[in-house]
Each structure stands twice: as structure tokens, then as C-alpha cells.
Amino acid sequence: MPEIAFVNGEFMDLSDARVSVEDRGFQFGDGVYEVVRCYHGVPFALEEHLRRLERSASGIELGIPEETRRLGELAVEALRRSQIAEAVLYMQVTRGWAPRNHAFPEAAKPTVVITVRPAKPAPPDRAALGVSVITVPDERWLRCDIKSTDLLPNVMAKQKAVRAGAFEAVMIRDGAYVTEGASTNVFAVKDDAVYTAPEGPRILSGITRAIVLGLAREHGMPVVEEFFTPEFLARADEAFITSTTLEVVPCVRVDGRPMGDGRPGPLTHVLASAYSAEVTKRTA
């Protein structure tokens, strides 16, 4: 099964894919991206991802070229060529190639990249045992709603988690409230209600987050989209994180201390199962 790339109008083997060293994505992180999980050859929530990519592109004043408009079709074609059934589809659009200069280049054409690679299967005990997280300061800019390729603060945060032997870094803005994880949205469950940070410039509006909140409401769980403190998270009955590639992952320790009873919680389990059922329903 070949790992496929699409770069500026051509499909090729991923190992042959190249962009210029003067690409602004490489020089400045001047680009936007999406990650789509594909289940048995069907991209999940592709429309939602394409809409967010358009919002991100418009957030950095990146004109959408014809190719980007056709990105959905190109992504499906890349997936078909790869023949990878359980795949991660990556799409990136940068402001293109130009001699290095901070201001927007006058004539550059956006670089469009798509890659298809096999999805990593989740370790079998992750859902049953849950994961540990640590808290770190949120040092990002105030347009976290834009899914920008400029991920340095997220990279630094994730590395702190790895060094601490934790799975995810939960970011705390101004020492006061939880925003999200380095590559996930963060949820706390208290008295059977589901809490998560509100949409806006301080978080990425996760596609998985939106689906999980919809499922929570369908299951009659009150949903509270408000910021909460790190202390609230530490004292929550349950906690979990979500993302396209991870789906719903229970968190059982924060900064080395057990959360709830130190085991994945029942509502987290309900939502994780409901999410799997939603995936099956939409990709059948």
C-alpha cells in the first residue's frame, strides 16, 4: 500500500514529495492544515474539516486557489490511490514559495499538499486504563481558532508532557483557566454535566469536540461551554480529551495526582462508545 502525496497538482509516492526551502510554510509557518481520519476507506467528517480549512485560510488572509476549492475531491482521489483503508489524510495550504520576506509576497501561488498514511492503531489498554496529563502554561497567540502550521508552542508543550511521562499537556491560560491540550480538546465531567472551554480565539474548535458535545446532549447530559480552572479539572469526577486521530481518550491523572477514582469514568465510556457508533454510522 503506497503512502501517497499530492504536491502542487501532482500525485506521487510520499517519499518523492518535495517543496521549496523557500516555501513560506517552511520559513514562517505561514500556512493552514487539516487532519482527517479515514475509516475503511471513507473520510470521516470531511465536509466539516474542509469548512474549517476555509475559515483558517480566510483567518490568515490566504486566498483559496482553485486547487484548494477542489481539495475534497483531491483528498478522496489520494485516498483511493493509496488503497489505505484505515488512513490519516493530511492537507496543508501555505502562502507558497517566494524569496524570504515577512510581508505577503505579491505573486506567490499557494502550495497545496495532501498526504495519506496509515492510521496508528490505538494501544488496546488506552481506553481501559486512561492516560496521564500534565498542566503547562498556554503560551500561544490569540488566534488558536486558526489551524495554523505554526505549532511551536504546541510542540514545546507536548515535549514537556513526553518528558514528564504523560500523554498530553493541558494548557492553562494566564495561570487561570484550562484552554485545551497541545493537540486535543479537554473535557471535565462534574455532577453528570460535561464541561469544556467555549469556542473562540483561545481554542481550536475541534471537529471531534463538536460531535462529542452533540452526542452528550443526545444522551441527556448537560453541556457547559465555559472556561474552568485547573483546580476544577483536578477535582472533576471524570476527564477526557478528544481529537480526530485519538477520538475520545479518558484522562486519569493530572500532574501526578489521580482524577476522580483514578479510573476512566462511566460518562466518558458512554461518549467514547457513542462516538465509535457515530463513526460507524457515517462511514458505513
Which residues of this chain interact with ligand PLP, rule CB under 6 A?
A: 35, 154, 180, 183-185, 204, 206-209, 242-244
Classify residue 64 as exposed, middle or buried by CB count within 10 Å of its CB (0-12, 13-18, 19+): middle
Q: Are 223 and 216 in contact (CB under 8 A)?
A: yes
The residue annotated as part of the active site, out of 109, 120, 147, 158, is 147
Handedness of CA 256, 258, 259, 265 (dihedral sign): positive
What helix, strand, coil percent values describe the chain, rounded to 5?
Answer: 30, 30, 40
Handedness of CA 233, 237, 241, 242 (dihedral sign): negative
**CA 106 to chain CA mean position, Å:** 31
Minimum separation from the CB atom of position 211 to ligand PLP (A): 8
Neighbours of 212 (CB within 10 A): 25
Minimum separation from the CB atom of position 101 to ligand PLP (A): 28
Nearer to ligand PLP, 98 or 271 (CB): 271
Q: Mark whether 120 is an active-site residue.
A: no
Nearer to ligand PLP, 200 or 256 (CB): 200
Nearer to ligand PLP, 64 or 88 (CB): 88
Nearer to ligand PLP, 82 or 154 (CB): 154
Minimum separation from the CB atom of position 20 to ligand PLP (A): 26
Phi, psi (deg, nearest 5) at residue 229: -85, 165
Helix axes 46-59, 71-82, angle to 10 degrees: 130
Minimum separation from the CB atom of position 45 to ligand PLP (A): 8
Radius of gyration over every alpha carbon of the chain, rounded to an integer in angstroms:
19
Q: Which of 46, 33, 107, 95 is nearest to 72 (CA)?
A: 46
Nearer to ligand PLP, 98 or 182 (CB): 182
Minimum separation from the CB atom of position 206 to ligand PLP (A): 3
Q: C-alpha distances in angstroms, 98 versus 74, 105, 188?
A: 25, 6, 45
Residues with catalytic function: 147
